Amino acid sequence: MMAETRLRPGAVPLAAWREIYAGGLVELDAECRQKVEAAAATIETIVAKGEPIYGVNTGFGKLASARIGKDDLAALQRNIVLSHASGVGEPLPQPIVRLIMALKVTSLAQGASGVRWVTIEHLLECLRRGLMPVIPSQGSVGASGDLAPLAHLAAALMGVGAFLVEGERLPAQEALRRAGLPPLVLAPKEGLALLNGTQVSTALAVVGLFEAEKLLRAALVTGALSTDAAKGSDGPFDARIQALRGHRGQAEVAAALRALMAGSAIRSSHLVGDDRVQDPYCLRCQPQVMGACLDVLRQAATTLAIEANGVSDNPLVFAESGEVISGGNFHAEGVAFAADMIAMALCEIGSLAERRIAMLVDPALSRLPAFLTPKPGLNSGFMIPQVVAAALVSENKQRAYPASVDSIPTSANQEDHVSMATHGARRLLAMAENVANVLAIELLCAAQGCDFHAPLRSSPALERIRDLVRGRVPRLDDDRYFAPDIEAAAEIVKSEAFLAAAGPEVLPSLGDELGRPAATARGRKGS
């Protein structure tokens, strides 16, 4: 049974979002109820006075100057949801929808959006009961909030659209009926509050961050194994070199590589008498490249941890002074920058791994049999897997173009600068899948390369990794149908067992629960 995650609005750690994404149960800290009800009462008071408030008794966007009469306020909120539910494309995966719903709950529960407590409870009940709104993945420009996708979420709560319930797509009205929940009837400001916000782009970026962290750690393992397969030197990982540069990520990556290779008989065999003075950059510069990736992912983690705990609605309610103030917290520029940083890191993790693959299959560089096959010519060995890796890396380069530098005016130029955060974040999972397949190919190449050094063995940590591989994929002696081998290796790379075998305590991570850099992990103090 999954552990329960208690949401304390404004102070939810990244680790909790990870648990929710993985299917953890959600409970909301009830202490926030007083603030929520005070904000809702503020909206009621202002509406009763007839004072103009954007999106409460006015139109939306370019139509903000249009005043709406009291008798039409409920219809106004329903209309904004229905008109904005205009998304297209494949539905977002259910785990991401769970995360979006939890992010929306914690934003609304901070008492600055003017929604009623009953509205938050309705959203929370759907989340608890596994009613996942069907949300099309395309249609947000990442400013004025993730309007189209969040409108599909709100519409489902109202009984319009569809839910996925245990994998079954149901009309929203039917899903709510089966769950014993009435369709939500929106009060003033509530439609706008549900639609405004960066929860979709933030959820997509946070998930991309989680995947990038896992792949960076995996790439250190495959990189260490490739270094041994090529009889590369661990000299470039010396702590003194990293100290003179001063970057924390670089030092931690070097320490992890030293720990992974510690005790390798392959490495010991060529400490004396090897005529190679320096290894190629793909081996020698791992601390510099992967350390930079680690540093930039930590910066993205800091931004996203703050964003996930913030309020990105508009206008915002300040119950203590009775004010409702319009602003621009819905603009997801910070999320867009974070997504671009994650994309760049993913691109570089895959790019460096592909260069190690190319080095291993090239006998002039690796001093191993051509394409890692015992009978080159008769067999092609790892020739085409390297081509596949090159294709995936080039695809990621194209995907990594910064989304944040693009903008296009919307809403008749009222919304004249937008962040493009949503599709900037949406690409990350596809990029991560490409990187996982590149690392799978590297894992197979590195394991095969080490096979040629028998009876010499690698380090205890790397031998555990090789055992995992050989438990699923036998050594390649003669050409065979290759795709299943890569698929099996990708499953290994993405598994918890992979990092467990390597020793997670020696691998750097993003940091503590709010994205700040973690203290040096046990086992990373090297000389």
Could you list the active site residues? 54
**Burial class of residue 420, CB neighbours in 10 A (0-12, 13-18, 19+):** buried
Helix axes 199-229, 421-451, angle to 10 degrees: 20
Report the alpha-carbon distance of residue 271 to residue 382 in Å, rounded: 28
Q: Are 360 and 229 in contact (CB under 8 A)?
A: yes
Residues in contact with 171: Cβ distance below 8 Å, sequence separation at least 6, in sequence order: 162
451 three-state secondary structure = helix
Measured between alpha carbons, how far is 192 from 107 in angstroms, rounded to an integer?
A: 13
User: Sign of the CA dihedral 336, 152, 19, 311?
Assistant: positive
Contact 58, 66 (CB under 8 A): yes
DSSP per position, 411-446:
TTTTB-----HHHHHHHHHHHHHHHHHHHHHHHHHH
Torsion sign across C-alpha atoms 10, 11, 13, 17: negative
Written as six digits, the tokens of 420 are: 């493009």
CA–CA separation, 44 and 345 (whole Å): 48
- Is residue 219 classed as helix, strand or coil in its secondary structure? helix
3-state SS assignment for residue 22: coil
Sole residue written with tokens 């949406």: 426
- Which strand (E) or helix (H) includes residue 170? strand 168-171
CA distance 402 to 347: 12
Q: Partners of 325 in the beta sheet?
A: 316
Q: Do the beta carbons of residue 362 and residue 232 sit within 8 Å?
A: no
CA–CA separation, 504 vs 251, rounded Å?
A: 17
Are 366 and 449 spatial neighbours (Cβ–Cβ below 8 Å)? yes
- CA 175/CA 134 separation, integer angstroms: 12
- CA dist 309 → 35, 107, 305, 383, 404 (Å): 16, 7, 6, 48, 21
